[in-house]
Amino acid sequence: MLLVFAFVLSLFAGRLFQVQGVEGAAYSQEAIGKRTQQRALPAVRGQIVDRDGVALATSVQAYDVEADPTNVKDADLVGRSLAPIIGVPAAQITAKIVAAQEKNKTAKKPSRYLQLAQRLGPTVRSKVYALKAEQRSGITLRSTTTRAYPSGAVGANIVGFLRNDGTPGAGLEVKLDDVLRGSDGREVFEGAKGGAIMPTGTETITPAVDGKDVQLTIDRDIQWKAQQAIAAQVKASKADWGSVVVLDTKTGEVYAMANSPTLDPNHRSSNPATYVNQAVADAFEPGSTSKVMTVSSAINEGTTTPSTVYTVPDQIHMSDKTFHDDETHRTWHPTTTGILAKSSNVGTIEISTKLAPATLEGYIRKFGLGAKPGTGLEGETGGIFAASADWSGSQRWTIAFGQGIAGSLLQMAGVYQTLANGGVRVPPTVVEATTDAGGDFVRTPAPKPVRVVTAGTAKKMMSMMEAVTYEGGTGKNAIIDGYRVAGKTGTAWIPKNGGYCRSCYQSSFIGVVPADKPRLVVAVTISNPHTGSHFGGTIAAPVFKEVGAFALSTLNIPPSGSTSPVPNFGDVRK
* Active site residues per annotation: 288
* Residues 397, 395: Cα–Cα separation, whole Å: 5
Q: Within 10 A of 178 (CB to CB), how many other CB atoms are there?
A: 9
HEC string for 440-469: CEEECCCCCCEECCCHHHHHHHHHHHHHHC
Helix axes 291-301, 345-352, angle to 10 degrees: 30
Helix (H, G, I), strand (E, B) or coil at 55: strand
* Residues 251, 429: Cα–Cα separation, whole Å: 8
* Residues 159, 378: Cα–Cα separation, whole Å: 10
- Alpha carbon 416 to chain centroid distance? 21
Q: Within 10 A of 430 (CB to CB), how many other CB atoms are there?
A: 22
Contact yes or no for 152/14 (Cβ under 8 A): no
Q: Within 10 A of 113 (CB to CB), how many other CB atoms are there?
A: 16
Q: Is the dihedral of CA 130, 135, 136, 141 positive or negative?
A: negative
Q: CA torsion angle for 244, 247, 253, 254 (degrees, to 10)?
A: -10
How big is the chain, counted in residues?
574
* Residues 511, 521: Cα–Cα separation, whole Å: 6
**β-strand partners of 488:** 510
CA distance to 72, 505, 527, 534, 537, per residue, from 531 (Å): 63, 12, 12, 8, 15
Q: Within 10 A of 183 (CB to CB), how many other CB atoms are there?
A: 12
Contact yes or no for 547/244 (Cβ under 8 A): yes
Instruction: Name the nearest CA neighbour of 46 among 209, 187, 275.
Output: 209
Helix (H, G, I), strand (E, B) or coil at 147: strand
* Residues 155, 230: Cα–Cα separation, whole Å: 13
Helix ranges, 87-155 (H):
90-105, 124-135
**β-strand partners of 259:** 243
Helix (H, G, I), strand (E, B) or coil at 72: coil
Q: Phi first, then psi: what are they for 391, rounded to 5°?
A: -70, 140
Contact yes or no for 220/205 (Cβ under 8 A): no
Q: Phi first, then psi: what are they for 78, rounded to 5°?
A: -60, -45
* Residues 70, 80: Cα–Cα separation, whole Å: 19
- Alpha carbon 561 to chain centroid distance? 36
41's enclosing H/E stretch is strand 36-41
CA distance to 36, 306, 335, per residue, from 338 (Å): 82, 9, 5
